[in-house]
Amino acid sequence: MAFGIQVDGVNLTNSSLSVIAKGNLNSSTTVTLTKNNYADVTEFKVVFTPTGVRDTSDEELRPTSSQTSSTITITQPSNGTPHQYLVLGR
C-alpha cells in the first residue's frame, strides 16, 4: 500500500463500527445522545436486540430511535419488551 496502516499483511483501508454507547432498555425511558460528544465519529447506527425469550402471546413493543444532525434519541415505550441497544459509530 502506498500509505496508511498494514496489520499482519492486511491493509487497513476500511472503516469499522465501534461502540459509542450501550445500554439495556426495560422500563419506559428516553435516552438522548449528543453527537458532538463523540469526537471524530461521523456516522451513527443504533442496533436493538430483543433479549430473553420473546413472548408471542401478545404484540411485542420495540424501542425506536431517531437522529437529527446533532442528537440521537432512543425511546422505549411504557410497555416495551426488554432490549439491549448499541450505538455504533465510525
Partner 1 sequence: MSYGIVAYGSDNKIAFHSDYSSVVYAGQMSTTTSAVQPTYTGDHHIGINAATRSSNYDMGRIIQYDITLDVDFFIPFYCPNHNNQEICIMDVVNEGTKWVVNLLFSGTSSQAPAVYAFAPLTELPSSAVTLSDFGIAVYDSSSNLVFTDSKRPLRIDDVVTITHHSSIKTNSKGSVSLGANSYTTSSHVNFTSNKTKDHSGSVTNTANKLYSIVPSAYGGLAYNNSGEGTIDCFAGLVTKQYAFEYKSWASFRGCVRHTRNTTTHTATWKADFAGAAYQYVDTSCGIGGLLGSILGIILAVFTGGLSLSLVVGAALTGFVIGEMTVGTVPSIKAYTQDEVFDQNSRPVNLMVTDKSYYGIT
* Owner of C-alpha cell 425506536: 64
Distances (CA, A) of 10 to 1, 80, 88: 10, 43, 23
Of 27, 32, 36, 39, the one binding partner 1 by CB under 8 A: 39
Longest Cα–Cα distance in the chain: 58
Q: Does 31 bind partner 1 (CB under 8 A)?
A: no
Q: How far is the CB of 20 from partner 1 (least distance, A)?
A: 6
**Of the listed pieces 25-33, 45-53, 68-76, which binds partner 1 according to CB under 8 A?**
45-53
Q: Does 29 bind partner 1 (CB under 8 A)?
A: no
Look up residue 49 and give its three cell numbers: 436486540
Phi/psi region, residue 9 (left: phi>0; alpha: psi -120 to 50; beta: rest), is left
Site residues for partner 1 per CB under 8 A: 4-5, 7-8, 12-20, 22, 38-43, 45, 47, 49-62, 84, 86, 88-90
